[in-house]
Amino acid sequence: MRDLIRSQAKQVGPGQYLDGSQLKHQNGWVYDKTTFKSTLATEWDLVCDNVRLNKVIVTIFFTGVMLGSAVFGYLSDRFGRRKTLLLSYVVTTTFGFASAYSNHFAAFTVMRFFTGCGLAGISIITVVLCVEWVDIKHRTLVAVLLSLDWSLGMILLPLIAYFVNDWRNLIVATTSQLFVAMIFCGKVQKVWVPESARWLISNGQVKRAHYYLNMCATVNHREEFMSDINPEVLAKVIIVEDENRKYSYLDLVRTPRLRRLALFTGIIWFGLASTYYGISLNIDDFGVSIHITQFIYSAIEIPSKLMVLIIVERVGRRFCQSGMLYMAGLCIFINIFIPRDKGIVRTAFGALGKMFSEGSFTCVFLFTTELYPTVLRQNGLGYCSFMARTGISTVPCSNGWIYDNTTFKSTITSQWDLVCDNRGKNKATATIFFVGVMFGAMTFGLLSDRFGRRITLLLSYVSGMLFAIASAFSTTYIMFAVLRFFTGFCITGIVIVSAVLSVEWVDIEHRKLTGVIDSLSWTFGNTLFALIAYFVTDWRWLIVSVTSPVILAIITWRWMPESARWLIANGKFTKAQKYLKNCAKMNNRKESEYMIKPESLACIAMTENRDRTYSYLDLLRNTKLRNLALRTGLLWFCVAFAFYGISFNITGFGLNIYLTQFTYGLVEVPAKLSAYFLWDRIGRRPVIVGSQFLVALCLALNIFIPREMAVVRTVVAIIGKGFSASAFGTLVLFSSELYPTVLRQNGMGYNSFMARLGVALAPFVLLLDEVWQELPQVVLCCAAVLGGLVGGTLSETRNKCLPETIEEYEKHW
């Protein structure tokens, strides 16, 4: 950045330069146009404070690719390969040209998002369509040829860019070729791009399949092979399960074998894409121009693909796939030990690793299309492509730094130099943690409903403590990030299991008290955290200090009872009797001990099937539960999105970081106590609806308060945070009361997953202030309003008994 500013500064005297900030504010930027006449950076001044928007464009584009993979994969298996391919051509061309003529940065990013969606369709559908039209002998050749078109396109790109050095005309030049593709795929030219005969037969359209096969035989001069083939014969080729059945991504998880296939292929695509793009974004140039560098990196892929063509039939797909990835890993491993001052050697090994990873990419396209059945092939490839687009990488800084240690003795920033180009890793750490929380919510929710609340809570205590302590003694950033992921994964079990266990052990009268105490534990923990951090200024010992109370929780677990509701709902009446008698004795209700018998408990909850195990799929099996899951999931997303959006966006009162943290934690106490007094007076639903609307009001007010009035804006935001905390506290109690016992923990796990999705997206919404300064506030306000509207559709639970089974929920709720 220093070199960029200096190169773009005007010299006003010997050794004197007018710096970039002055140029920006007074006369605008002056750019070097010797290489490019116009770029995105020069069009919208994406430099200095706006430099991150360059990466935002790429992120938005690949987000479009991710979603496009899922959408076009589904459409292709539903409506056919040919129509969907034509649609993807049209979408890409339309939005590609629209992006070239965008006159605003926001419009450009939206156009690039939809361009990515369309391109994903072209990529995955062409592969499947080609593989489904060739025999076993020629599948490898077709797959390699399809892969080579990417490499040849990348080789031609620097040549085109060399002559077309304006970004708008460059987009037009590279997009215009799609007109030729659309001509070939047009309806009048069915011979050129036929529909997949395999898809037609699998979907019971044997007459159309016979038509295309006749054309294929004619083109290849094999008419004699069609003499004995008619629609009736084709109908027997594939036994169609149901001609009217439509397949979706849910079918990938319906059977154990397909579930395993989806899990393993998804991991392979994720790991491969992470490796490929990680190498691509980290290797340097050879000291030559950008055009030649691009040419070299693209040309090096060709020998790897030719290698795949030669060896894949000799050693098989699996060995070729794994061998190429091992070789790529070896190149990356060798680069760890090569000094950074040997730039060309490191770049050579990086390029070699890129070559092997590209060979693996070629193989995985062929391998994946062969593994999935025809009726789900495009869904499978769409899902795998979606997983691949999550691969990202960051570039390390090369210089050391000197840090101000007056406030903190040591932080992860000073430990691993998370500044300059690495500053994104600070936010990545939080994102990784919350991704762990997301998946942990789903996992521990399932385990708790499957094996019980008590044993799952102990598992989350022990694993959470072990991973947290281990993260405190991490020796590398990667190690720390991985351990924080698993820490978040396990901690979420403590949160959701303890909340449900508490609610299931109290009566209607005391549910609200339990709910507010459970919610206040978070608030007091946040408040005390500032005090602990004031005295413990080293990040390693701070993690150890805040983790150590879990040891006390593990000790007290010995006296913690299993949920009697869960035991009864799962037919374990003898154990339920034991815990209920202990409860009666502790509460001096000895007369109740003689009334508690296994036979009487068996009448409380008539379970549908005592040996049945429940999963997240049960949330979708009937209309009422589907509607409940949809509404509570959306509500949790909106509440968490608004809460963390406000938390990340409010500034201090000019106080130090400790007092600011203390203030933000303390403001939640009156909000949650207010909710406590209102829950039984007006009900859960009005409290959560009112809280969300008041959050929206605070956000809306801040849109109109001038930024110069920073203290006023902060006060209004903190009041909004208080209302949001009230909504959060209400929501935990409200949701746990809505779901039946047999699915309560699954429901809470799913809701927590949706909430963490909102948390993960909240920091990215704050980046929208580059488009319009108040846009983040508008988005958060809309989310709060949506949450309030959704909350108003839920059933009131005040003074109602908790539902125990799905049947009871359907009958009374």
Q: pLDDT for 54-90, tens place per residue?
A: 667 777 887 787 778 778 877 887 788 888 888 888 9
Residue type, 686: P
Q: Is residue 755 part of a domain?
A: yes
Whether 220 is in a domain gets the answer no
Q: How far is CA 337 from CA 342, 349, 496, 652, 666, in A?
A: 11, 11, 44, 45, 50
Considering the domain architecture, whether residues 492 and 462 belong to the same structural domain is answered as yes
Q: Do 8 and 131 fall into the same domain?
A: no
DSSP secondary structure letter of residue 520: H
366 and 483 together in one domain:
no
pTM confidence score: 0.46
For 286-304, what is the mean pLDDT? 65
Q: Which residue type does 421 have?
A: D
pLDDT confidence band for 789 (50 / 70 / 90): very high
Tell me the backbone φ, ψ of residue 28, rounded to 5 degrees: 85, 180
Average pLDDT of the residues in 644-670: 67
Q: Of 488 and 364, which is predicted with more confidence?
A: 488
Report the amino acid identity of residue 752.
S
518 in a structural domain: yes
Question: 283 pLDDT band (50/70/90 cuts)?
Answer: low
Task: Indicate the angle between helix axes 684-704 and 775-791, nearest 10 degrees.
Answer: 160
Give the largest CA-CA distance in the chain.
Answer: 99
SS3 243: coil
Same domain flag for 351 and 472 = no
Whether residue 502 contacts residue 518, with contact meaning beta carbons closer than 8 Å, is answered with: yes
Query: Do residue 286 and residue 141 come from a single domain?
Result: yes
DSSP-assigned beta bridge partners for residue 38: 166
Domain boundaries, position 631:
412-571+607-812
Domain harbouring 107, CATH code: 1.20.1250.20
With cut-offs at 50, 70 and 90, classify the pLDDT of residue 297: low
Regarding whether 458 and 367 lie in a shared domain, the answer is: no
pLDDT of residue 12: 36
Confidence of residue 14 (pLDDT cuts 50, 70, 90): very low
What is the mean predicted confidence (pLDDT) over 144-159? 75
**What's the confidence (pLDDT) of residue 10?**
38
Co-location of 342 and 451 in the same domain = no
pLDDT one-digit tens code per residue, 129-140: 777 777 777 777
Both tokens assigned to 293: 């560098």
Together in a domain, 321 and 438: no
Which band of pLDDT confidence, cut at 50, 70 and 90, is reported for residue 635? very high
Q: Tell me how many domains the chain contains.
A: 3
pLDDT at residue 189 is higher than 60: no
pLDDT, one tens digit per residue, over 575-610 is 777 777 777 777 776 666 556 665 555 555 554 445
